Amino acid sequence: MEFLEELWLNHHDPYHAALGIGGVIVLLVIYNRLLNKYQ
């Protein structure tokens, strides 16, 4: 959970926070696509 702690610590930096949130969204989209593919 180091990533989430880092995100929380850097939440005062909008660019850093947006980058982190964007990365999470991309990972979720890829994960969902893989799940749909293998079902």
Q: Which residues contact 20 (CB under 8 A, 6 or more apart)?
A: 3, 6, 7, 10
pTM metric for this prediction: 0.53
**DSSP secondary structure letter of residue 1:** -
How far apart are the C-alpha atoms of 3 and 11, rounded to whole Å?
12
Residue 5: band (very low, low, confident or very high) from pLDDT cuts 50, 70, 90: confident
Q: What is the dihedral of CA 29, 31, 34, 39, to 10 degrees?
A: -110
| Token output for 7 | 């995100």
- Residue-wise pLDDT for 16-38, tens only, equals 778 888 999 999 999 999 999 98
Size of the chain in residues: 39
